[in-house]
Each structure stands twice: as structure tokens, then as C-alpha cells.
Amino acid sequence: MGLITADFFVCCLTGPLTAVLYSLPYSSAIWFIIAQYVQSVPVSASTLSMMAISVDRYFTVKNYRPIGQAANRKQVLSFAVAATWVSAAILSTFQVISRYKHSWKKSLMLVRVTLTHITPACTVLMCHLGVHANLTALSLTARAQHGELPLPIPLMRRPTHVIIVAGVPKVSR
């Protein structure tokens, strides 16, 4: 729901806001700051939500369940959505604060860009590569086991030991 809300705001709010923003005279600087903040929050929430979804997908595919039981999972996911939006609101204030002439303006913008865009992009990439590798191996193994994929050697995901038991059938005379 958090990603749906963020994407809805990005699509339906930032476009009209940009049009209004550039039609206002420069004397209304407070409206420019408010518009910049309102535009920045959903974009930050979208990128952070995508990162959270990718991490959750990676943990699901790897069968790693750090959040425990299903009832607890709902609470953790609700907390993750809330944390994403709070983080987006905080990171968006960095953009508004960086408009003012300060010596640490560049540092603040670098932190915002790193936490809002670079870190989520790298996390999504790494999670998708991990999911792709795991699902590809599972798919090839399943297809080979069902005989759908002729392979010259069997696909082995982990070392196994094979014990061959030979028996002599009892022959009735």
C-alpha cells in the first residue's frame, strides 16, 4: 500500500504541482519551497519502497525468514511502510534545507542523493541478481528432474553421495 500511495502521488501530484510551480511569480518563495518538498516526498518514498520490496522478495526466494511468524510479519511490514514514509519525509527536508546558503549544502545533498537514489538502486540491483540466480538454478534443476531439459551431466546444487545397492534376485528352480 505504501508503494501504491507513493506511485500515485508521483504520477498525479508532481506533474500538476510542477506546472503550478513554474507559473507562479518568484515572489512566492514559500510556495516554491512547499511544492519542492511535496514533490520530493513521494519520489523518495517510491525509491525506498522499491528497495524494501526487493529485499523482501530476496529473503522470500532465499527462504530466509528473519521476521518470524506470519502474524508478526504483518506488523513488521506495516512498520516498514511507516519507516519508509518517515524516512522519505526526513530526506525531503534535506532538499529543502539545502536551498539555503550554507557551507554544508553539498554534503547534505550528497547524503540525500545517496540515501534516496544510489543506495536503493544498488540494493534493488543486487536483490534482483540474487533472485534471478536462485530462480534460474531452481528452474533448471526442476526441468532436468522432469526430463524436460536434456543435460549432458546432471545439475547438482549441492554435493551428494550416491550409494549403489546391487542385489541378486532369487531364482526359483
- The DSSP annotation for 87-108 comes to HHHHHHHHHHHTTS--TTHHHH
> What's the CA gap between 87 and 48, in Å, rounded?
8
**pLDDT for residue 87:** 92
Nearest partner of 44 among 104, 103, 114, judged by Cα = 114
Residues whose CB is less than 8 angstroms from the CB of residue 57 and which lie 6 or more positions away in sequence, other chains included: 127, 131
**pLDDT for residue 153:** 54
**pLDDT for residue 86:** 93
**pLDDT for residue 162:** 53
167 alpha-carbon distance from chain centroid: 55
**pLDDT for residue 9:** 75
pTM check: above 0.75: no
Nearest partner of 94 among 115, 123, 66, judged by Cα = 115
> What's the CA gap between 18 and 32, in Å, rounded?
10
**pLDDT for residue 122:** 92
**pLDDT for residue 158:** 55
**pLDDT for residue 90:** 92
Q: What is the pLDDT along the chain (173 residues), one digit of tens a residue?
A: 766 777 777 777 777 777 776 676 665 677 777 778 888 888 888 889 888 888 888 888 877 765 555 557 777 778 888 898 899 999 888 877 777 766 777 788 888 889 988 999 999 999 888 888 777 776 666 666 666 656 555 555 555 555 555 555 666 65
Nearest partner of 92 among 27, 9, 53, 35, judged by Cα = 35
Tell me the helix, strand and coil percentages in the chain, rounded to 5.
70, 0, 30
